[in-house]
Structure 1
Amino acid sequence: MDSLIRYTDFQNKYSDYNAWKPSNAFTIHNTTNNCIEQLYKYEIVEQVFNGVGHTRDSILYAKKLHKFQNGLIQEFSKQERNNTYIYVIEHKKKKLSRIRSYKGLVDKKKIAPSNYCQNEFMLEHNETIISFITSLIGENVVQLLEYFFDDSTCFVIKSDEDYLNVDFLNLVLSTLDLTGNIELDYLKLLCLFCNKNDIIYRIGGNSGEDYWSLQKFIKK
């Protein structure tokens, strides 16, 4: 990484740690959320990796992206909790489809059934949405991290709990607004999971034009 930033003032530094993201990605301005009163217990640790700036050089971009990807793998490999998982959900609900239901999101040829949990949730008007969680281990890490570059539908979580179950998928689903495109609310995720000493990660920055970053939501 090129620099490290710590955020403990969630209110006044909102535009910094939520830069390049919509307001519903961290709903701190929703005064009905009781978790806001408890934010003093948490912090965001952000690892910043410089991008290419105004230089339009594909070789330089690839080099810096590789450095960032290695930084992700290094951080996720740290044994801070017993388990490291990656969670993924579709971008929006869709009409029920037999082919889509069969295919799902998981590449079943590459991930063993014991290493993931996937579920298709039935909604109103014959619509469904699919999500999964899988262990972020082994030779599939690089492939799985391709999902991580979309923080609206994907996050990484470290926990001592076993989250390879539908209950976890249901819990995350309960935090989402399904009326339009999916946008994970990291304030809600922080309140649900970091309160139990889990660690939440999301990607930051603007896709390497100025920088990439890895944001770590953690209890102090």
Structure 2
Amino acid sequence: MAIVLLVRHGRSSANTSGTLAGRLPGVHLDDTGREQVARTGERLADVPVVEVVTSPLERCGETTDAIARHHDLTATVDEAVTECGYGDWQGRPLTELADEALWRTVQSQPSAATFPGGESLMAMQARAVTAIRQHDARIEAAHGPSAVWVAVSHGDVIKSVLADAAGMHLDLFQRLHVDPASVSIVRYAPQRPTVVAVNTHAGDLGWLRGPEPSGDAPVGGGAGPA
């Protein structure tokens, strides 16, 4: 059972301007974002990370650099974990988009939302979940069942992966929240995925160096990591 740390990129210039960046080039971390990812990198420095997979967009690459340098790793770039294809919504102010009829669909029934000139949220979830599960199986086969790896991606993408792991319908994924530079944790196992943590900003992750837990869910909740 490998374990994946889902890291959202740090705060970007588009986040602070209230713009839906999508896949536009040239969107970088702002000063706060660079501080955020530096803290995340330090938090993961003692975790035995064996591989980092990243979205190709600049803000994810900058986040990845802050993590990978602690582990002497070269990241794998994967288009399948890139931002949702927001199509004609890309580059527009969020305040303007909130007046669109589609905005209400994205909020209440995201499984029915397809962005004009872009992709659907269902398609985004399908390609991201497939990629994460494939990387996880490959990394476990190469590094063993206790392998820890990092996937650096985007808010809606990570939320969709977490929803799948939790057995939630995509229509419920807006109940999840994923902040810039946060770490969420999923462990995949033959029985089921386990959502270990969501949207964490601090806290010791040294327990990830411990032995592989049983694949069974402990009745009563168990004793937790040593």
What is the TM-score of this pair, normalised by structure 1?
Answer: 0.32
Q: Higher helix share goes to which structure? A: 2
Q: Higher strand share goes to which structure? A: 1
